Structure 1
């Protein structure tokens, strides 16, 4: 399943999986009306983190 369309509160939601951001391990393109969200995940399966700190970043563009 690469694509899903749902109706929720009389609005159509569209999900497209792994079509965008080809260099990532996973991506989801979400569209609801005029709003669009692209969420991506990248992991390094060979790297072992021995610390108890996990750096996370968020990019927000309006």
Structure 2
């Protein structure tokens, strides 16, 4: 389900971005068929971790 949602969102992104890009009119039908919404480089599956080097971890309760 998650992969299907990602493909759907990527398809919407491609549809929104392609007409606004310079040179989009040069894409042939074969070029458009070669586009794939199966990219995931913009996804971080582990979330974001903010590291504050000015604070120390409280390890007093860890055994």
Computing the radius of gyration over CA atoms, which structure comes out larger, 1 or 2? 2
> Which one has a larger percent helix, Structure 1 or Structure 2?
2
TM-score category (smaller protein): under 0.3
TM-score normalized by the length of structure 1: 0.22
- TM-score between the two structures when normalised by the length of structure 2: 0.21
Whose strand proportion is higher, 1 or 2?
1
